[in-house]
Structure formats: structure tokens, C-alpha cells
Amino acid sequence: MHTDVDSVLASVVERLAEAGGVGSVYGDPVERDDRTVIPVARVAWGFGGGGGSGPADAEREDGEGDEPAGEGYGMGGGVSASPAGALEITDDGTRFVRYESRKRLVVAVLLAFLAGVLLGRR
């Protein structure tokens, strides 16, 4: 049973590593005139697993049958990627240009409006 679990675990970890690898973080460079732009993403991945066992000669808890009790495994994982910005490379140097999402801008505007309303009531 452990050999099956080990091979499944190795397969899951390999797939997650491929999905969250360098190719997911840095995109293909784009060259225009004297400028090269390399897209950059924020990538996070996680993995969880389980296990279990039980005496091979134990009876089931419900008292029915003489099947061994116990044994169980579970595992899973996930990858999340979102744009972070871009590296801009020119003859003058390299700089990171941060990607600003509209959601973040809307939240900032709403917070500023709320602060203005609250301060205006004083």
C-alpha cells in the first residue's frame, strides 16, 4: 500500500512543482526598440496529505464482518498565480514596474472617501 501512496505523492508533487516553477513566475521576454520587458507573476503553492493505519486483525467498529479496520490516505495541493509586475530592462538600467490592480485602486479610493466622510462630520 505504501508503494502506491509514494508513487501518487511523487506524481502530485511533480505536477505542483511544474505548475509553480520558474516558467510560471517569469514570462517570455518582450523586446521593443531599446527596451526588454519580462512579465513577473506571484506564485504560491501548497500541499497537504494524510495517512492512517490500523491493526490488520482488528474488527470493524460497527461489529459487522471480519474485514480489517483502518487504513486510509488522502492528499491534495494547489497552485495560485497572479500578475505582480514586470522587469523593464534598458541601457539606463533595470527597474521593476509593479502591477496595480483596479481592485486595489477601488479599495484605496473607497477608504479615502470613507475617511473624508468621517473627518467631515467632526
Edge-first strand listing for the sheet containing 35-49: 30-32, 35-49, 75-90, 93-98
Domain that residue 26 falls in = 2-120
* pLDDT for the residue 5: 67
110, 117 in Cβ contact below 8 A?
no
Q: How many domains does the chain have?
A: 1
The pLDDT assigned to 96 comes to 93
Per-residue model confidence (pLDDT) at position 65: 57
Whole-angstrom CA distances from 90 to 25, 30, 42 are: 21, 12, 23
pLDDT on residue 89 = 94
CA angle 94/100/102 to nearest 5° reads 160
User: pLDDT in tens for each of the 122 residues of the chain?
Assistant: 556 767 877 787 777 677 666 676 778 888 999 999 998 888 887 777 777 777 655 555 555 555 566 777 777 777 787 888 899 999 999 999 988 767 777 777 788 888 887 777 76
